[in-house]
Amino acid sequence: MTTHPHQADSTADLVNQAAGQISKLVRDELTLAKLELAEKGKRAGIGGGLFGGAAALGLYGLGLLLTLAVVALDLVWPLWLAVLVVMVVVFAAAGVTALLGRKQLRTAAPPVPRTAMENVEADVQTVKTAAHRGRQA
């Protein structure tokens, strides 16, 4: 079997074109991943700031609520006992909250650019399929 010079050139051209397209595809997917992560980071930053403000206001409200509980209990118990009971309840709630938070942190997944990863996987599968068909032809 002899190969024609024209066929060799055309195969080389096809390989060069495929390499160029794969390179462009990888760059485009990386750009998409960067944009996706930047958008998620921006939303997380704004959400975190708003959540932090709500937490600060909530702490002031909680302080007032605890003060009200001490004052109300002081009507029927001595002041030291009212403060002790409220303190024990607050520490118990803090312990339960810490345990629940630790459990949630252990199950949290790291943020990933899912759309870009799915596109890359699809691209790799397309290239594999095309390469497999090329070998069969």
- Whether the pTM exceeds 0.75: the reply is no
pLDDT class of 64 with cuts at 50, 70, 90: very high
Q: What is the pLDDT of residue 6?
A: 54
Q: What is the pLDDT of residue 52?
A: 95
Q: What is the pLDDT of residue 109?
A: 67
In angstroms, rounded to a whole number, what is the distance separating the alpha carbons of residues 79 and 44? Answer: 44
* Residue 137, pLDDT above cutoff 90: no
What does the pLDDT look like over 26-47, one tens digit per residue? 899 999 999 999 999 999 999 9
What does the pLDDT look like over 2-22, one tens digit per residue? 555 555 567 888 888 888 898
For residue 68, the tally of other CB atoms under 10 A from its CB is 11
Q: What is the pLDDT of residue 7?
A: 56
pLDDT class of 111 with cuts at 50, 70, 90: low
Q: What is the pLDDT of residue 124?
A: 82
